[in-house]
């Protein structure tokens, strides 16, 4: 009780509860609390009636036992497929040995080793690594780097027509989509170049070699 008013304890779903949710319950929660726009898109494709229970390699398996080929299998963290046995083995070993995975206040020997490996296979003098959690974060870092090198007033970024680089503020500014950009204030000094038009890009660089290029 607080000032005569009863404090209601929220009813929270556990992982076990989530695993038992029906298609209808999942759809209702997704549409109401997560992303109604994406739900509308999924509904157009009929995907609002699909619940995936497991995934292995290049396939999903839905609640009815149907196997679905994952055409997003090379997207982001899934470049090696779902639940790759070598990756699972390392994760299990990490958990068994109580290894740390996140240590913001300290150096990470794993991140340092990965950065060293990436630098060793990168061309010429590319020897610094930025580890991000998403493509949008990488694009934001690239935009900030361009500003640091050239200055805020001079930094100019070229991007291609029909491009998609993300939905964060900077990445959205160099994403060629009025649908996503509508209603938002975008960064300045952007130059759109026709995709695949080498002559247009060469013409742009001939006038200003300080232009940064997002591919």
Question: Tens place of pLDDT for every residue, the chain, 215 residues?
Answer: 556 677 888 999 999 999 999 999 999 999 999 999 999 999 999 999 999 999 999 899 999 999 999 887 656 667 888 999 999 999 999 999 999 877 788 999 999 999 999 999 999 899 999 998 888 999 999 999 988 888 877 778 999 999 999 999 999 999 999 999 999 999 888 999 999 999 999 998 887 777 888 88
Coil vs helix vs strand at 5: strand
For residues 205 and 169, membership in a common domain is answered with yes
| Residue 155: other Cβ atoms inside 10 A | 20
For residues 162 and 118, membership in a common domain is answered with no
Residues 189/151, Cβ–Cβ less than 8 Å: no
**Rounded to an integer, what is the distance from CA 109 to the centroid of its chain?**
24
Residues 195/160, Cβ–Cβ less than 8 Å: yes
For residues 120 and 153, membership in a common domain is answered with no
For residues 118 and 142, membership in a common domain is answered with no
pLDDT at position 3 is: 66
- 149 within some domain: yes
Please tell me the total count of domains within the chain.
2
Coil vs helix vs strand at 192: strand
For residues 125 and 178, membership in a common domain is answered with no
pLDDT at position 18 is: 95
pLDDT at position 76 is: 60
Residues 155/210, Cβ–Cβ less than 8 Å: yes
For residues 114 and 175, membership in a common domain is answered with no
- 28 within some domain: no
For residues 140 and 209, membership in a common domain is answered with yes
pLDDT at position 59 is: 93
- For 122, the domain range is 105-131
For residues 171 and 111, membership in a common domain is answered with no
Note the pTM of the prediction, 2 decimals.
0.77
Backbone φ, ψ for residue 55 (5° rounding): -150, 140
For residues 169 and 118, membership in a common domain is answered with no
Instruction: Give CA separation, 194 vs 162, 201, 210, in Å.
Output: 9, 8, 19
Coil vs helix vs strand at 183: coil
Q: Where are the beta strands (DSSP E) in the chain?
A: 52-56, 59-62, 67-69, 157-160, 190-193, 212-213
Q: At what angle do helices 36-45 and 23-33 cross, to 10 degrees?
A: 140
Of 114, 131, 148, which residue sits at a domain end? 131
pLDDT at position 74 is: 58
Q: Beta strand 212-213 with 52-56: parallel, antiparallel or unpaired?
A: unpaired
For residues 167 and 187, membership in a common domain is answered with yes
């Amino acid at each position: 009780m607080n000032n005569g008013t009863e404090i209601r304890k929220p009813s929270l779903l556990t992982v076990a509860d989530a695993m038992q949710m029906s298609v209808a319950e999942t759809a209702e929660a997704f549409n109401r609390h997560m992303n109604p726009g994406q739900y509308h898109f999924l509904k157009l494709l009929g995907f609002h009636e699909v619940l995936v229970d497991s995934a292995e390699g290049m396939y999903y398996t839905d609640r009815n036992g149907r196997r679905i080929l994952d055409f997003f299998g090379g997207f982001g963290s899934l470049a090696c497929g779902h639940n790759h046995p070598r990756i699972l083995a390392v994760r299990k070993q990490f958990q068994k040995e109580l290894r740390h995975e996140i240590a913001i206040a300290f150096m990470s020997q794993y991140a340092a080793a990965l950065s060293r490996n990436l630098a060793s296979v990168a061309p010429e003098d590319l020897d610094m690594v930025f580890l991000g959690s998403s493509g949008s974060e990488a694009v934001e870092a690239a935009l900030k780097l361009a500003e640091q090198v050239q200055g805020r007033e001079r930094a100019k970024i070229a991007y291609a027509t029909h491009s998609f680089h993300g939905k964060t503020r900077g990445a959205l500014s160099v994403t060629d989509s009025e649908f996503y950009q509508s209603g938002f204030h975008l960064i300045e000094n952007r130059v759109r170049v026709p995709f695949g038009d080498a002559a247009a890009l060469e013409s742009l660089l001939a006038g200003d070699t300080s232009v940064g290029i997002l591919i």
